[in-house]
């Protein structure tokens, strides 16, 4: 029996927590306590986390030397993954504890935490002095050398001189970026004042260094605001991360610090931010928000500059996330222009008009395409467990199916691309619209029998030809639907090679309630989100890591970029259980031939060939991690990359390739938004290919 943890309280909210199979794309570890540091409290939290992991986690691992080594590596990655602060001698010194962290964990021993956090603070102070000294003099743009941008390929600097050399090269790359952007910011001309040799170059180079100094000062000011409680969050979450990527400790905190939202309460652009070293990145997009409707901002984009309308952009590299949020927030109707760096390394200015988040845009919507093919887009799974009068995505999909059937649809495209999941009951209900009866998904809890969730309603809403569109962001509950329809033989899956691959369920544990009144003097203790279940396909397989494999594979620009559950450290393994008792439908006699013909068309389609070529280009570019630091070499490298990317950019050249009309009337005030949505549908090559596939099945 656990010494501290009281488990029964967890059942209190299972009705709502278990169904919410929401994708968590990475963890943010920098949350802060409301109280001041308290070593007894920290020791208690360590023991609570240890006992929760051992007693409640779906797949507890042994707390041994192997675990200890994994925690050590995860912790060093969190502290200094870019190797900008820690020396090799520091690493060697801390590594003496590498095989002792398991013992510290179970006993609540904070000695390693004390030593590492003290060292971390000391190295931050040194780094501030270092960059201040380096930026006080002109950078050397004449020496042929390069900066290794991939930290995994670099060793920790062996001494102060080696660290100085690294920072000098790193800061040179930052100054080069600024000068290049100003010299080549206009497509039709070059500003010579920012080129070496021009009389004004020295002044502009000095200004670039001054800006870098300002940005780095803001970055380090933010680091200096971190206190012991922030450091403890990093430390304890290294232990949690060694179990699985979705398990995480949340210290007590203010509501707004739990999840930084650029929308504020109602108004904004509708994106969530997280700190990633010196950059602030887009962590998620709020479905239906202003930036979601604008369509160009993506998860993973790095924010470089923020401008208020036509005002001069302000550099935000190095700023803390809280400060960046204040610059992006604003009143409805005002414009913010974000300069971002995309995953392929290109930079783009994205204008977004702030707005109130329009939840209507998250709802299912449909259109009738050419050749009487129905199309339904479901951006997310939504259901309100507390108010039965609110909208439910399963009922909305039913309504759209009936409308399309009444309009004469001969096939249906069900689009789940980018759908990160949501309600399990809703997923089961939606799958039930396409099958008569039977299990939809199996759920396994540690130490318990496998439970099957069945279609609650006999009969089907649509028994005709069906395509489910997916991509690598199709996750969790969306994967449940796609997998069930594939296993029953009800749908052909079209999209990326596989979906995201998240087949686990998390629950939130309140440590105050778990520890009980005896430890009330230490409260609040925070909360712990941990993995408690896995779900499985009706055929006994799993979507964990494997995702759902497409029957017709369509190339994606980022198909070779590491993404998905399988790329996350310590993700739970894929396994199998016995199949449930289910009965697939009779296979369409035209299915095999139609799938083969569709794949052949995809393989020879010029649009898809271009996308595939671009993805291969990006894969090759990933190998080139050395950045030249001599001016002429730097310019040649950047220009070559920009020219190469231009070869693949045909987004603006797309034209309508089918017709699309609304079946269920939209709101008059949303007419322009509906028009843009239909335009995007008409020009989407994956939708057009799905139409052809459905036509072949008839």
Segment holding 229, helix H or strand E:
helix 228-241
Burial 498-515 (b: 16+ CB within 10 A, else e): bbbbbbbbbbebbbbebb
Catalytic residue among 41, 302, 502, 534: 502
DSSP string, 34-65: SSPP-HHHHHHHHHHHHHHHHHTSSS----SH
* Active-site annotation holder among 289, 476, 478, 598: 476
Distances, alpha carbon 334 to alpha carbons 37, 272, 303, 327, in Å: 41, 19, 19, 12
CA nearest 554: which of 594, 597, 609? 609
Phi first, then psi: give them for residue 389, nearest 5 degrees.
Answer: -80, -15
Using N-to-C axis directions, what is the helix angle for 228-241 and 65-80, rounded to 10°?
130
d(CA 246, CA 194): 47
| Residue 244, token pair as written in the block | 């699985």
Question: How many Cβ atoms from other residues are within 10 Å of residue 5's Cβ?
Answer: 23
| Rg value, the chain, Cα | 27
Identify the CA nearest to 159 among candidates 83, 84, 85, 88.
88
* Enclosing H/E stretch for 256: helix 255-258
Contacts of 84 (CB under 8 A, 6+ apart): 127, 166, 167, 170
Q: Based on the residue annotation, tell me whether 476 is a catalytic residue of this protein.
A: yes
Per-residue buried b or exposed e for 367-382, using 16+ beta carbons within 10 Å of the residue's own CB: bbbeebbbbbbbbbbb
Closest CA to 631 of 184, 186, 164: 184
Element (H, E) at 411: strand 411-415
DSSP at 154: S
Largest CA distance in the chain: 80
Q: Are 79 and 120 in contact (CB under 8 A)?
A: yes
- Nearest alpha carbon to residue 92 among 156, 151, 152: 156
Are the C-beta atoms of residues 289 and 261 closer than 8 Å to each other?
no
**What is the Cα 377 distance to its own chain's centre?**
21
Cis peptide before 524 (omega within 30 of 0): yes
Active site residue 143: no
Strands (E) in 251-328, as ranges, are: 267-268, 271-276, 279-285, 302-308, 314-315
CA distances (Å), origin 30, targets 225, 276, 283: 11, 10, 14
Which DSSP state fits 253? -
Helix (H, G, I), strand (E, B) or coil at 557: coil
Catalytic residue among 80, 301, 471, 487: 487
Query: Among 126, 138, 246, which residue's Cα sits nearest to residue 544?
Result: 246
Q: Which residues are part of the catalytic machinery?
A: 476, 487, 502
């Amino acid at each position: 029996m656990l010494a501290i943890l009281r488990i029964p309280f967890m059942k209190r909210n299972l009705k709502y927590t278990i169904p919410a199979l929401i994708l968590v794309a990475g963890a943010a570890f920098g949350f802060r306590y409301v109280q001041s540091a308290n070593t007894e409290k920290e020791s208690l939290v360590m023991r609570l986390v240890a006992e929760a992991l051992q007693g409640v986690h779906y797949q507890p691992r042994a707390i041994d030397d192997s675990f200890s080594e994994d925690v050590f590596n995860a912790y060093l990655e969190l502290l200094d993954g870019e190797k900008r602060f820690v020396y090799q001698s520091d690493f060697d010194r801390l590594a003496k504890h590498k095989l002792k962290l398991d013992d510290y964990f179970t006993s609540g021993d904070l000695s390693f935490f004390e030593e590492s956090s003290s060292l971390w603070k000391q190295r931050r102070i040194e780094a501030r002095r270092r960059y201040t000294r380096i930026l006080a003099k002109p950078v050397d743009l004449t020496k042929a050398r390069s900066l290794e941008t991939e930290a995994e390929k670099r060793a920790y600097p062996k001494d102060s001189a080696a660290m100085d050399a690294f920072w000098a090269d790193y800061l040179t790359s930052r100054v080069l970026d600024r000068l290049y952007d100003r010299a080549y910011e206009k497509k039709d001309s070059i500003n010579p004042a920012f080129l070496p040799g021009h009389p004004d170059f020295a002044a502009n180079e000095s200004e670039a260094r001054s800006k870098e100094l300002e940005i780095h000062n803001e970055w380090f000011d933010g680091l200096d605001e971190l206190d012991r409680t922030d450091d403890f969050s990093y430390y304890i979450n290294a232990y949690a991360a060694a179990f699985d990527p979705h398990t995480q400790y949340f210290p007590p905190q203010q509501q707004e610090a739990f999840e930084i939202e650029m929308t504020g309460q109602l108004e904004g652009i509708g994106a969530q931010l997280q700190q990633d070293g010196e950059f602030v990145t887009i962590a998620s997009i709020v479905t239906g928000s202003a930036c979601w409707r604008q369509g160009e901002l993506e998860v993973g984009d790095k924010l470089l500059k923020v401008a208020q309308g036509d005002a001069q952009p302000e550099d935000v590299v190095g700023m803390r996330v809280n400060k960046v949020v204040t610059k992006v927030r604003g009143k409805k109707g005002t414009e913010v222009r974000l300069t971002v760096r995309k995953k392929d390394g290109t930079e783009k200015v994205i204008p977004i008009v702030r707005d109130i988040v329009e939840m209507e845009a998250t709802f299912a919507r449909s259109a009738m395409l050419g050749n009487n093919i129905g199309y339904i887009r479901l951006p997310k799974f939504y259901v309100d467990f507390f108010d039965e009068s609110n909208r439910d995505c399963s009922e909305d999909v039913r309504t759209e199916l009936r409308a399309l059937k009444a309009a004469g649809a001969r096939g249906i495209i069900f689009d789940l691309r980018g759908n990160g999941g949501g309600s399990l009951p809703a997923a089961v209900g939606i799958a039930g619209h396409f099958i008569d009866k039977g299990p939809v998904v199996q759920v396994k809890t540690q130490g318990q029998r496998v439970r099957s969730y069945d279609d609650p309603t006999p009969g089907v809403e649509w028994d005709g030809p069906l395509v489910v569109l997916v991509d690598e962001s199709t996750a969790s509950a969306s994967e449940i639907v796609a997998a069930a329809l594939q296993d029953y033989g009800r749908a052909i899956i079209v999209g990326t090679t596989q979906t995201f691959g998240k087949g686990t369920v998390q629950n939130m544990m309140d440590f105050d309630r778990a520890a009980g009144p005896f430890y009330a003097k230490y409260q609040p203790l925070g909360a712990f989100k941990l993995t408690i279940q896995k779900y499985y396909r009706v055929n006994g397989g799993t979507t964990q890591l494997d995702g759902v494999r497409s029957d017709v594979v369509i190339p994606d620009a980022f198909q070779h970029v590491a993404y998905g559950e399988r790329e996350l450290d310590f993700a739970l393994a894929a396994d199998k259980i016995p199949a449930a008792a289910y009965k697939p439908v009779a296979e369409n006699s035209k299915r095999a031939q139609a799938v083969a013909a569709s794949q052949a068309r995809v393989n020879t389609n010029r649009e898809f060939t271009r996308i595939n070529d671009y993805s291969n280009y990006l894969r090759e570019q990933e190998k080139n991690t050395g950045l030249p630091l001599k001016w002429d070499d730097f310019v040649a490298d950047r220009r070559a990359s920009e020219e190469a990317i231009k070869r693949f950019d045909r987004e603006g050249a797309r034209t309508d390739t089918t017709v699309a009309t609304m079946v269920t009337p939209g709101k008059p005030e949303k007419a322009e938004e509906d028009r843009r949505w239909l335009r995007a549908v008409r020009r989407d090559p994956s939708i057009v290919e799905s139409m052809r596939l459905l036509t072949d099945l008839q």
